[in-house]
Amino acid sequence: MEKLPVIKDDQLVEKIGQGKVVLFFTAGWCPDCRFIKPAMPEIEGDFADYTFYTVDRDENIDLAAELNVFGIPSFIVYDHGKEIGRLVNKDRKTKEQVEDFLRNLK
């Protein structure tokens, strides 16, 4: 999973404009982020039609605020630049919860 550098909104549009993209908002200090992180390679493998990017919330605090991401770990999904779903809150997430969320996207 590629980690996005500090990125501005207009640069993000380039990243999410092609295909299906999952942004995984996280931070190194976040225990709930560390809880889901080991499952992410398997989730990526199960949803190979998506491109996954890690977004460090602290490095990209302005972007997180623009996207209304105030709790982590959180996921925002795009299809050719259009947001199609979000799992954005401060709750701990299990592999099953993330996969159910992705499976139920239209």
Q: Which helix H or strand E contains 31, and what residues bound it?
A: helix 31-36
Six-digit token string for 78 = 């795009």
103 in catalytic set:
no
Please pick, among 4, 12, 27, 33, the residue that the annotation labels catalytic: 33
Cis peptide upstream of residue 38 (ω within 30 degrees of 0): no
Please pick, among 16, 27, 30, 67, the residue that the annotation labels catalytic: 30
30 in catalytic set:
yes
Six-digit token string for 98 = 């993330």
Q: Which residues are catalytic?
A: 30, 33
